[in-house]
């Protein structure tokens, strides 16, 4: 009886547990399917990442330091200074041509007449800038040809003198003034008068450089006087002149 009862209990337990076995097997298969799907997705993600190019990150450029950087900086500074100085070096030399007349003039003890008025006539010449002096002034060489009118003659003279003008032309300042002293040589002179003279000038003017390429213009006024060296006589004149300036 006991053996038969045990057999029945076993059969009853087997019957009761038999429905849950498929459920457990189905759950196990579902878990396996989910794990396999997750693994497939991870494999696909890895394959995608392996085929996708990794973006290259641009690192900021390092600023050069040391002797090389300093040499580059000073080379740029020198090039900028050379470019700025090239424009001023264009006016390192220039030649000015002028022509004018006298606004007022008179002479004393020159010729047979003690005092003659308005005897200064035409003045023309050239001025060449030789260079800069003390970084503030320009040194020039001026050559003038001046004609006069005396009762007994019509003298003609060439005057050669160094001329200092302030400020220097590289400053590009339009107004200037200056002075010069030099010898004068008469090609034609009144009878009995000296053929040599001491000439001196005081000038002031306005100038404009490079209005038409390398050509500019200027206007000038001042005094052009002389004293005869080997005889009595002197001349005083207020002049005005203008002309063109050529830089090179």
- Check whether 160 has a pLDDT greater than 70: yes
Which of 83-114 are b and which e, b meaning 16 or more Cβ less than 10 Å from the residue's Cβ?
Answer: eeeeeeeebeebebebebebeebbbeebbeee
For residue 85, pLDDT over 50 is answered with no
Task: Please give the residue range of the domain that contains residue 24.
Answer: 2-50
What are the backbone angles phi and psi of residue 137, rounded to the nearest 5°? Answer: -130, 160
**Both tokens assigned to 41:** 């997705």
Token match 């330091």: residue?
65
Judged against a pLDDT cut of 70, whether residue 127 lies above it is answered with yes
Total number of domains in the chain: 2
Question: Cβ neighbours of residue 77 under 8 Å, at least 6 residues apart?
Answer: none
Q: Please state the rounded mean pLDDT for residues 41-70.
A: 56
pLDDT at 47 over 50: yes
Q: Are residues 142 and 35 in the same domain?
A: no
Question: How far, in Å, CA of 146 to CA of 186, rounded?
Answer: 9
Give the helix/strand (H/E) hosting 133: strand 120-133
In a domain, 65, yes or no: no
Within 8 A by CB and 6+ apart from 91, the residues are 129, 169, 170, 209, 247
In the predicted model, what is the mean pLDDT of residues 124-129? Answer: 96
Residues 158 and 95 in one domain: yes
Would the pLDDT of 202 be above 90? yes
* Co-location of 104 and 156 in the same domain: yes
Let me know if residue 78 belongs to a domain.
Answer: no
* Mean of pLDDT values over 32-40: 56
Q: How many residues does the chain have?
A: 248
For all residues of the chain together, what is the average pLDDT? Answer: 80
| CATH value at residue 122 | 2.40.160.20
- pLDDT reported for residue 171: 87
């Amino acid at each position: 009886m006991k053996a038969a009862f045990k057999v029945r209990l076993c059969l009853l337990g087997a019957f009761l547990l038999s429905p849950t076995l498929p459920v457990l097997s189905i759950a196990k298969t579902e878990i396996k399917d989910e794990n396999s799907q997750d693994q497939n997705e991870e494999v696909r993600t890895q394959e995608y990442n392996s085929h996708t190019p990794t973006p290259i990150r641009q690192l900021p450029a390092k600023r050069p330091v040391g002797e090389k950087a300093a040499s580059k900086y000073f080379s740029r500074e020198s090039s900028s200074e050379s470019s700025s100085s090239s424009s001023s070096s264009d006016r390192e030399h220039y030649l000015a041509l002028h022509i004018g007349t006298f606004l007022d003039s008179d002479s004393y003890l020159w010729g047979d007449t003690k005092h003659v008025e308005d005897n200064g006539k035409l003045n023309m010449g050239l001025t060449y800038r030789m260079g800069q002096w003390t970084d503030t002034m320009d040194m020039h060489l001026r050559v003038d040809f001046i004609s006069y009118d005396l009762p007994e003659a019509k003298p003609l003279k060439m005057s050669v003198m160094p001329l200092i003008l302030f400020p220097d032309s590289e400053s590009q300042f339009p107004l200037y003034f200056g002075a010069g002293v030099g010898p004068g040589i008469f090609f034609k002179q009144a009878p009995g008068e000296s053929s040599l003279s001491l000439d001196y000038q005081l000038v002031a003017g306005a100038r404009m450089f490079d209005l038409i390429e390398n050509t500019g213009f200027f206007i000038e006024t001042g005094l052009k006087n002389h004293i005869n060296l080997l005889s009595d006589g002197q001349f005083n004149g207020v002049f005005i002149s203008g002309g063109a300036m050529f830089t090179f």
